[in-house]
Amino acid sequence: MTNESRIAAPRLAAFVTRAFAAAGLPEADAKIIAELMLEADLRGSDTHGVIRLPLYVRRIRAGGINPQPNIRVVGERPSAALIDGDNGMGHLVMRRAAHLAIEKAKVTGIGWVGARMSNHAGPAALYATMALPHDMIGLYFAVGSNNHLPPWGGSETLLGTNPMAVAVPAHDEPAIVLDMAPTVAAYGKVRLKAQRGEPMPVGWMIDRGGKPLTDAKRADDGYLLPIGDYKGYGLSLIIGILAGALNGAALGRDVIDFVKDTGKPTNTGHAVAAIAIESFMPAEKFKRAVDAVIRDIRASRRLPGVERIYLPGEQSHAKFLERSTGGVPMPKPLRDSLDALARELNVPPLE
Amino acid sequence: MTNESRIAAPRLAAFVTRAFAAAGLPEADAKIIAELMLEADLRGSDTHGVIRLPLYVRRIRAGGINPQPNIRVVGERPSAALIDGDNGMGHLVMRRAAHLAIEKAKVTGIGWVGARMSNHAGPAALYATMALPHDMIGLYFAVGSNNHLPPWGGSETLLGTNPMAVAVPAHDEPAIVLDMAPTVAAYGKVRLKAQRGEPMPVGWMIDRGGKPLTDAKRADDGYLLPIGDYKGYGLSLIIGILAGALNGAALGRDVIDFVKDTGKPTNTGHAVAAIAIESFMPAEKFKRAVDAVIRDIRASRRLPGVERIYLPGEQSHAKFLERSTGGVPMPKPLRDSLDALARELNVPPLE
C-alpha cells in the first residue's frame, strides 16, 4: 500500500459502498450514499464527505441509524409533502425528498418537501443542486446534528449551525450555489484548529463569560458566534423551524449530539424545495440573465490586494473539475481511519 | 399646532391617505397604502414607514411611480404566479402578491408569487406576516432600492441591502418575525449617524481602500459590509435573484437609486411565499411547539450583563402594542416634512 495523497473517486466510492453493505445496508442504498458522499468530496466539502464514514458506521452498529429503513411519504398535497425517514441514512431520505419536490414543481411550479426521523445527510449543496438539471432553483434547510450556538445574549447552546443551501442554474457559467451555516465558523473548523494546536481568530467563539475564546482546545467551554450578531441567531432559528419544528423533527432541547450519542435516533429534520423557473420566465432567458450577473460581478472593480472575486459555489465547482480527474485528497489520518474501518468490517481495504 | 411627540395612528393614516389621494391615487389605494405604512410605524420600523411619504410623493409627481397602475397577473401555475406591478406603489403590488400566495397555499400547500415593475414597499415583515392569520409561514424577499454593497472582495456596489423576512405563527406567544438585510448595518442607520455627527462603529463600512470607514459623512465614498463576510454577500445575491432576476426585475447594474432618480421606474422585484402548516402537521400542534421553543429560548441562561433574550420580532410586537395605544412617535423633523408636504399638495395638515 502506497501512502498516496490522492485517490480516484470510483475506487473510493467502491470502498464506501462495501463498508455500508457490510454494515447491513442494501447494496443499492449503499451505492447511492457512496455516490453522494463522493460528490461532497469532489466539491471540496472535505469535512462533510467520506471523512464521516466511520461515524456513520459507528452509529449504524450502535443502533443509532436504521440500515434498512422504510422511508415513506406520510403527508402529501399537490405542492408539499412530509417524509418520515424511519431513522435511515439522511442521504437516502433527502435524495428521495428532493426528487419528490422536483416532481411536484414540474406539475404546480413549486415543490416543498420536509423530512423527519432522518439523519445527517452531508453538505447542504447536495440536495439544492439536484434541482439544477431540471431548470429549477433548489433550496435546502437542515437542523444541525448538534447544538453549538446559543440564542443572541444567551449562554445555553439551544441552536445549531443549521445550514442552508440555494442553487441557481446559469447558462454557460457554473451554477450559483450558496451553502452556508449562520455561524461565523463551522464547528469542523474549530476541531481542525484544535488538532493543529493553532489559535482561533477573535470572532469565531466566545467563552462562558462572553469574552473572545481563541484556544480551540477549550471549545467545549465556549459558544460559536452567529453571523451578524442577532441576525445569524434569527437565521439559525428560522432554518431550524422550517427544517425541524414544521416536520415534527428535533429542534432546540430535543437535539442530541450525533457524535456522542451514537446509539440514539437523532430525529433530524430537513426541508428541500424546488422552484420551476418556467413558472416565471423562459428558463433559457433566466439562465442567460444569471450569466450576465455572474460576469458583471466577476469583472467588477476589486479592493486593493484582492486577486479575484468569486461567485458562491465557484470554488467548489473548480475543485469538482480538478478532483474528478486528479482524484480526491486522502490525507494519512483519513486513510488510516478507513483502513481501520475495513479491518473492523472485515471488508477489502481501499485499493 | 402643538409640538407633540406622539400622534394617534388613525389620524396619521388619514393624513397619509389624503396626501396620496392628492397625488393622484384612487382613494381606496391611498387608504390601503396608508394602513400598511402605519403598520410599519406601529411595529417600530421608523425608517420604513411614514418617514418615506415625502419621497413616495416626490417620485409620483416626478413620474417615477404610476399613481393608477394596472397591476396584473402575467403568469400563473397552481402554486406560482408572476405579477407585473405596472410601476405602481410597491405596497399595492405586494399586498396583492401576498394574498395570491396565500390563496394558492390553501389549495396546493405552497404559494410563491413574484413581482416585477414594482416599487419600494416598506419593511419586509409587512408581507411575510400576512400569512400568519391563515396558519401559514410567510416568506418575503426584495431587491433593495439602491446598491450599497459590493461583492465580497470588490469595490463596486453591484448589490443592495436586499431584505428578507420570515414570519412563523405561535399559539400564545407573539409570532416569530425575522426581518433582516444581509449587511451589518442598514443604510438608514448610516444616514442617522451622519445627521447626528456621530462616528460609525468599525465593521459597518469600509472605504475604497478596504480600510474601516467610521466617518458617516463620508458614506458615499465607502461600502457597507455584509454579515459573515462572503456569506452575507452570497445571501444578498441569492435574495436578489429570487426577488429580481427570476421575475424579470432589476438586479445588479440595472438597479437605479430610487432616492436620486425620482423620475425613472425602478423595476423593483420582490417575491412572497406562503407555506400552509397543515400540509405538514396540525396547525395547533405546530404553534404550541413554536411556543415551547420560544419559551425555552427566552428562559435560557444568559451571558453576564444580558438582561433579556429576545426572539426575532418580539421587540417589534411590544412596540406595536405600546404605540397602538400611545401613538406613533412624531419627531419635529418628520412633522415639519409632513407639514411642508401638506402645503405642497394643498391638503389639510396632520391634525
HEC string for chain A? CCCCCEECHHHHHHHHHHHHHHCCCCHHHHHHHHHHHHHHHHCCCCCCCHHHHHHHHHHHHCCCCCCCCCCEEEEECCCEEEEECCCCCHHHHHHHHHHHHHHHHHHHCEEEEEEEEECCCCCCHHHHHHHHHHCEEEEEEECCCCEEECCCCECCCCEECCCEEEEECCCCCCCEEEEECCECCCHHHHHHHHHHCCECCCCCEEECCCCEECEHHHHHHEEECECCCHHHHHHHHHHHHHHCHHHCCCCHHHCCCCCCCCCCCCCEEEEEEEEEHHHCCCHHHHHHHHHHHHHHHHCCCECCCCCCCCCCCHHHHHHHHHHHHHCEECCHHHHHHHHHHHHHHCCCCCC
Is residue A268 scored above 70 in pLDDT? yes
Question: Is residue A290 within 8 Å of A171, Cβ to Cβ?
Answer: yes
Q: Tell me what the mean pLDDT of segment A34-46 comes to.
A: 97
User: A199: distance to nearest CA of chain B, Å?
Assistant: 19
Residues B112 and B240 in one domain: yes
Predicted pLDDT at B238: 98
Predicted pLDDT at B195: 86
B217's grid cell:
459623512
Paired with B137 in beta bridges are B275
Residues B123 and B204 in one domain: no
Q: Which band of pLDDT confidence, cut at 50, 70 and 90, is reported for residue A188?
A: confident
Q: What is the C-alpha separation between B200 and B220, in angstroms, rounded?
A: 14
Residue B158 counted as domain residue? yes
Nearest Cβ partner for B238 among A166, A242, A281: A166
Nearest Cβ partner for A280 among B82, B232, B310: B82
**Which residues, 6 or more positions from B211, have their beta carbon under 8 angstroms from its beta carbon?**
none
Residue A320 counted as domain residue? no
Residues B141 and B233 in one domain: yes
Residues B194 and B343 in one domain: no
Which amino acid does the sequence have at A229? D
pLDDT in tens, A210-230: 999 999 999 999 999 999 999
Domain extent at residue A260: 66-183+227-287
Predicted pLDDT at B114: 98
Residue A295 counted as domain residue? no
Question: Is any Cβ of chain A less than 8 angstroms from the Cβ of B343?
Answer: no
Predicted pLDDT at B4: 54
Residues A258 and A333 in one domain: no
Residues B234 and B97 in one domain: yes
Residues A10 and A48 in one domain: yes
Residue in B with minimal Cα distance to A76: B279
Nearest Cβ partner for A75 among B230, B240, B280: B280
Phi, psi of B6 (to 5 degrees): -135, 150
CATH number at residue A116: 3.30.1370.60
Residue in B300, B317, B263 with CA at minimum distance from that of residue B61 = B263
- State the sign of the Cα–Cα–Cα–Cα dihedral A318, A320, A321, A323: positive
Predicted pLDDT at A297: 98
Residues B86 and B140 in one domain: yes
Predicted pLDDT at B1: 41
Is residue A2 scored above 80 in pLDDT? no
Count of structural domains, chain A: 3
Inter-chain touch A286–B77, beta carbons under 8 Å: no
Is residue A116 scored above 60 in pLDDT? yes
Q: B41 exposed, middle or buried (CB, 10 Å; 0-12, 13-18, 19+)?
A: buried
Residues B143 and B236 in one domain: yes
Q: Give chain A's largest Cα–Cα span.
A: 57
Residue A316 counted as domain residue? no
Residue B298 counted as domain residue? no
* Residues of chain A contacting residue B81, judged by C-beta atoms under 8 Å apart: 279
A334's grid cell:
483519513
- pLDDT by residue for chain B (351 residues), tens only, comes to 444 589 999 999 999 999 999 999 999 999 999 999 999 999 999 989 999 999 999 999 999 999 999 999 999 999 999 999 999 999 999 999 999 999 999 999 999 999 999 999 999 999 999 999 999 999 999 999 999 999 999 999 999 999 999 999 999 999 999 999 999 998 888 988 998 999 999 999 999 999 999 999 999 999 999 999 999 999 999 999 999 999 999 999 999 999 999 999 999 999 999 999 999 999 999 999 999 999 999 999 999 999 999 999 999 999 999 999 999 999 999 999 999 999 999 999 998
Residue A298 counted as domain residue? no
CATH number at residue A221: 3.30.60.50
Question: Is any Cβ of chain B less than 8 angstroms from the Cβ of A281?
Answer: yes
Residue A93 counted as domain residue? yes
Residues B109 and B208 in one domain: no
Paired with B159 in beta bridges are B149
Q: Which band of pLDDT confidence, cut at 50, 70 and 90, is reported for residue A1?
A: very low
Residues A77 and A149 in one domain: yes
Residues 46-105 of A with CB under 8 A from B: 75, 77-82
Residue A248 counted as domain residue? yes
Q: Tell me what the mean pLDDT of segment A233-256 comes to.
A: 97
Question: Is any Cβ of chain B less than 8 angstroms from the Cβ of A168?
Answer: yes
Predicted pLDDT at B2: 46
Residues A102 and A209 in one domain: no
Inter-chain touch B180–A228, beta carbons under 8 Å: yes
Q: What is the C-alpha separation between B106 and A162, in angstroms, rounded?
A: 28
